[in-house]
Amino acid sequence: MTDRVVLAYSGGLDTSVGIGWIAEATGAEVIAVAVDVGQGGEDLEVIRRRALDCGAVEAYVADAKDEFAAEYCMPALRANALYLDRYPLVSALSRPVIVKHLVRAARQFGATTVAHGCTGKGNDQVRFEVGITSLAPDLACIAPVRDLALTRDKAIEYANKHSLPIETTKHNPFSIDQNVWGRAVETGFLEDIWNAPTKDVYSYTDDPTFPPVADEVVVTFEQGIPVALDGIRVTPLQAIQEMNRRAGAQGIGRIDIVEDRLVGIKSREVYEAPGAIALIAAHQELENVTVEREQARFKRGVDQRWTELVYDGQWFSPLKRSLDTFIDDTQRYVSGDVRLVLHGGRATVTGRRSEASLYDFNLATYDTGDTFDQSQAKGFIEIYGLTSKLSAARDVKFGNGVDLSPVAGSSSAGALSGGGAESTSSGTPDGAAGA
């Protein structure tokens, strides 16, 4: 039986040429696999037909938009996943769902190898190959662009020589990857990190400099998942798509960042993720209301590690699974409504409410009805600061106390001017604004 190779197929130049290129280089039959994660563009049937016309013996196509939104974007939302505190893992999230379908197709058609179109200096090669071998350790992986020296010039020459049904052009200033969670743009003039993005870089967002009238939206969550917008029930996919539309109209979610790639280089990337950024802002605020303090503090570290694992291609790793279990538990009470105002590039939370809220108005208020027993505060402070007090006394005993002498050129009197601990800028009691 002839060997078979499953190829991650986008329908573009490189992967279309890759079908014949792989067949000639390896002698194997090629099965093209196209997975729709909301990248837009051509119909899946058109892509399937093109793959067959380019020489694939089989074509596997999957509409995975709902699967991607529910099983990949929603876990990222619950983890508040922002790589380097800014990038919501647009491309990194789509790779494991594509990998899942590649492995499924390999099993279905009896393939022994999986191929992808990544270069040797990006993150995606790692995400694909580590993901594939995590699900199917017996499968081999190849990358024509990286392993078989398939350059763009060679791809164009090959396509023209074999009259492949694909547009060929050397003029393509950007490398673009997009899905329902967002859009990633790189290369071209953006590789000079001093150059500002031009208008043609953006597609998902309008210019926030001239926004329309502010848009107010209420997002309803159940256990960390958005289930309604302004009271209308939505699926995860519908929630993302509608927030992409509304937040995108306000220019929300534009990100220009120099990030640390897994392979060790820094790369300038421009992202658009209006729905993701707005939903994460809402989710984070609802967590502030419903997640217990120590659990919330620990979760911030878990969220960061979860994000790094996914960015680094470890979606199927044991640690990622363990962190998923913790995050799932934290979302038990993350249910309620968050009101957002979308305007001028920002998603601003203006209201929050939850039946599971840990916010107690009677404990928080400074007005009549305050149920907080302030007489207990003094004893609490004594016990809380006891270890520091004992340590400080030891430092003084051995001559290692803090030097309190004035710094040369400073004035202790001037340092105290402008009001002491008793001054306030409003009618709020001293300490009320010190949270």
- Please report, in tens digits, the pLDDT of each residue of the chain (435 residues total): 789 999 999 988 888 999 998 999 899 999 999 999 999 877 899 999 999 999 999 999 999 999 999 999 999 999 999 999 999 999 999 999 999 999 999 999 999 999 998 888 889 999 999 999 999 999 999 998 888 777 778 888 888 888 888 776 666 668 889 999 999 998 889 999 999 999 999 999 999 999 999 999 999 999 999 999 999 999 999 999 999 999 999 999 999 999 999 989 999 999 999 999 999 999 999 999 999 999 999 999 999 999 999 999 999 999 999 999 999 999 999 999 999 999 999 999 999 999 999 999 888 888 888 888 888 999 999 999 999 999 999 999 999 989 988 887 766 555 444 444 444 444 455 445 455
Do 142 and 197 share a domain, yes or no?
no
Q: Which residue carries 């990038």 as its tokens?
A: 87
Return the biggest CA–CA distance within the chain. 90
60 is in an annotated binding site: no
Which residue of the set 175, 317, 354, 357 is catalytic?
175
In a domain, 414, yes or no: no
Please give the Cα distance from 72 to 181 (Å, whole number). 10
Do 113 and 184 share a domain, yes or no?
no
Do 133 and 196 share a domain, yes or no?
no
Is 65 in a helix, a strand, or coil? helix
At 201 the pLDDT is: 94
Last residue of a domain, one of 172, 187, 205: 172
At 369 the pLDDT is: 82
308 is in an annotated binding site: no
Q: Report the CATH number that the domain containing residue 225 is assigned in CATH.
A: 3.90.1260.10
Whether 203 sits among the annotated catalytic residues: the reply is no
Q: Report the CATH number that the domain containing residue 49 is assigned in CATH.
A: 3.40.50.620
Do 225 and 275 share a domain, yes or no?
yes
pTM of this structure: 0.89
375 is in an annotated binding site: no
In a domain, 415, yes or no: no
Whether 417 sits among the annotated catalytic residues: the reply is no
Number of domains in the chain: 2
Buried b (16+ CB within 10 A) or exposed e, 95-106: bbbbbbbbbbbb
Do 148 and 63 share a domain, yes or no?
yes
Do 220 and 342 share a domain, yes or no?
yes
- Two structure tokens written together for 45: 């049937």
In a domain, 298, yes or no: no
87 is in an annotated binding site: yes
Do 346 and 231 share a domain, yes or no?
yes
Do 150 and 235 share a domain, yes or no?
no
Last residue of a domain, one of 114, 144, 172: 172
Which residue of the set 4, 48, 94, 124 is catalytic?
124
Taking a C-beta distance cutoff of 8 angstroms, is the pair 19, 150 a contact?
no
Is 86 in a helix, a strand, or coil? coil
Do 20 and 90 share a domain, yes or no?
yes
Taking a C-beta distance cutoff of 8 angstroms, is the pair 163, 17 a contact?
no
At 410 the pLDDT is: 65
123 is in an annotated binding site: yes
Neighbours of 389 (CB within 10 A): 11
Do 194 and 265 share a domain, yes or no?
yes
Which residue of the set 14, 36, 303, 312 is catalytic?
14
Contacting residues for 300 by C-beta, under 8 A, at least 6 apart: none
Do 262 and 217 share a domain, yes or no?
yes
393 is in an annotated binding site: no
Whether 124 sits among the annotated catalytic residues: the reply is yes
Taking a C-beta distance cutoff of 8 angstroms, is the pair 163, 136 a contact?
no
Last residue of a domain, one of 304, 323, 353: 353
Q: Which domain holds residue 20?
A: 4-172
In a domain, 17, yes or no: yes
Please give the Cα distance from 305 to 312 (Å, whole number). 10
425 is in an annotated binding site: no
At 175 the pLDDT is: 83
Whether 14 sits among the annotated catalytic residues: the reply is yes
Do 343 and 194 share a domain, yes or no?
yes
In a domain, 14, yes or no: yes
Which residue of the set 4, 48, 78, 95 is catalytic?
95
In a domain, 259, yes or no: yes
In a domain, 202, yes or no: yes
Contacting residues for 407 by C-beta, under 8 A, at least 6 apart: none
In a domain, 72, yes or no: yes
